[in-house]
Amino acid sequence: ITGCTITDHVWLDGGGNNTVESTTIENTGWRGITVRDPDNLIDNVTISGASDYGIYFEGTATTADRNQVLNSVVQNGPLHGIFVDSAHSIVLKKNEILSNGWDGIQFNNARSCTAQFNLVRFNNSAGFRLNSCTNVIIEANEIDSNANYQIVVGAGSNGVTISKNNIYQEPGQKNGIWSPINPLSAIRNYWGTTDSAAILDLVNDGGAGVVYTPWRLGPVDTSPGADTVAPKAPDTVAVTVLGGETIQVTWAIVTADGEPDPNATNLTGYRIYRSKTSDTSYWPLVGTVPAGTESFMDSNLTTGETYYYRVTAYDNVSPFENEAFYSDSIIGDHIDSAAVSISKRIRAVSIGGETSAPLPGATIEYELTIVNSGDAASETAIIRDSVPLNTVFSTASREADTLNATATFSDTYITKGWKLQTATVVNPDQSENSPDYSDGIPADPTTVKWVRWIRRRIPRKTSKTIRFRVIVQ
């Protein structure tokens, strides 16, 4: 039967090896097509508005095995779009099963059947339903917005493969897969999200029997012959804390795919994900680098936080990139914080005379000890203090212990970094950044001081001492 428009149902019964192609079957008083013999081909057929099943493979009384339905549309019927009943080795490819009143495709007591590259959408019960089936493959289909569940696998089924489908629940529902089978393999499917908590919500009964890890991190190209194999996940992922706000993530170059694949590994790049918790359901993307790269610098982090990283490899280009599942290693490292305290000691080296205050010409040794008791270096310790007006910086000043670090002095102001500040009120506020002090010398100052800022890097668990001398003029 070819090139026809039919308003009655079609029977394939009594011999086999028949073909129905390029034909429209619409508004029949019963089914669209009933198949009761083997080895038939239904290709490029549109069945619309049948009043029973769209296509019914009736294997309960006869042999309806080894039949194929290709490139066809079955829509707007009151029952199942396609019903495979006790038939074996049925192949359904590149069909659109839309808006039927019950299941889109149902396999009942079927064996060794394959459904690939089909669009199964807007049906009023399940997208796919399997009852007491053996070795049925559901692969590379678009299963979208069916009202009950997208896939139902009933009791008595075994050897079922559900892989590399794009599974989208009906809006506002959590109806991905339902099955009492334990375990039921449903790996490498894309669920419209990468959030594991959201995916778990799409699997009935908390996913107790449905094995859905690893899942796809992006949509599957469901066209025949498409490359749907992702690279292998990067291994030997490691991190190194380089400073108070920077972590380096490293990994080994990926040279193979994550599963057997006749296509060459077409690596495009790596993606780096970061979380502050190791068991997060959603991993935010923080960086992408091209193939051939073995590291990523993550900067502007927060001191005192713990960060966890995962790395993936991906091939091809958008919109159908094949991205490896997250790296096996969840690497966490803590950016430790510094705990800095400062103590001060002043003593007279030569005070001059019997007075209790330094006289002109006296030398005073001035010492600051900076203690970092934390687990990370202090990158920005700034020491601020003041000395009397009638002092100058001594050339004998020195650091007691450099510990391979060097003090950095500002030379913005005169006298080697010392800054002159004055107050004009009695008993001025002596706190840091006091509003009572300002730069320069007014007509009638009440208090004058020299101020110096010293910027230091203080390593973890370290005490550093800065010792210098001032000479009273």
Residues 108 and 186 reside in one and the same domain: yes
Domain that holds residue 267: 238-334
171 and 68 within one domain? yes
Same domain, 283 and 188: no
Domain co-membership, 282 together with 324: yes
Which amino acid appears at position 395 of this protein? Answer: T
Domain shared by 326 and 366, yes or no? no
Q: Look at the chain and report how many structural domains it folds into.
A: 3
- Residue 15 located in a structural domain: yes
- Tell me the C-alpha distance between 327 and 310, whole Å: 6
User: What is the reported pLDDT for 279?
Assistant: 73
Distance CA 320, CA 266 (A): 13
Same structural domain, 307 and 426: no
In this predicted structure, what is the pLDDT of residue 32? 97
CB atoms within 10 A of CB 446: 13
Find the CATH number of the domain harbouring 283: 2.60.40.10
pLDDT score for 23: 98
How high is the pLDDT of residue 395? 40
Residue 204 DSSP label: G
Q: What pLDDT, on the 0 to 100 scale, is given for residue 240?
A: 83
Q: Per-residue pLDDT tens for 181-191?
A: 989 999 999 99
Same domain (yes/no): 262, 397: no
Q: Is residue 368 situated within a structural domain?
A: yes
The pLDDT of residue 170 is 82
Per-residue pLDDT at 377: 62
Residues 129 and 202 in one domain: yes
Give burial (CB, 10 Å; 0-12/13-18/19+) of 465.
middle
pLDDT of residue 319: 79
Please check whether residue 222 lies inside any domain of the structure.
no
Going by C-beta distance under 8 Å and a sequence separation of 6 or more, which residues neighbour residue 413?
A: 419, 420
Q: How far is C-alpha 99 from the geometric centre of its chain's CA atoms?
A: 34
Q: List the chain residues with pLDDT less than 70.
A: 61, 205-207, 243-244, 328-420, 430-432, 440-445, 448-458, 460, 464-473
Residue 428 placed within a domain:
yes
The CATH code of the domain that includes 365 is 2.60.40
Residue 341: per-residue pLDDT = 55
Q: Do both 30 and 179 map to the same domain? A: yes
Residues 140 and 242 in one domain: no
Per-residue pLDDT tens digits for 56-98: 999 986 789 999 999 999 999 999 999 999 999 999 999 999 9
User: Are residues 188 and 47 part of one domain?
Assistant: yes
φ, ψ at 204 (rounded to 5°): -60, 150
Residue identified by tokens 């430790």 is 336
Specify the pLDDT at position 353: 45
Are residues 168 and 269 located together in one domain of the fold? no
Looking at residue 380, its pLDDT comes to: 47
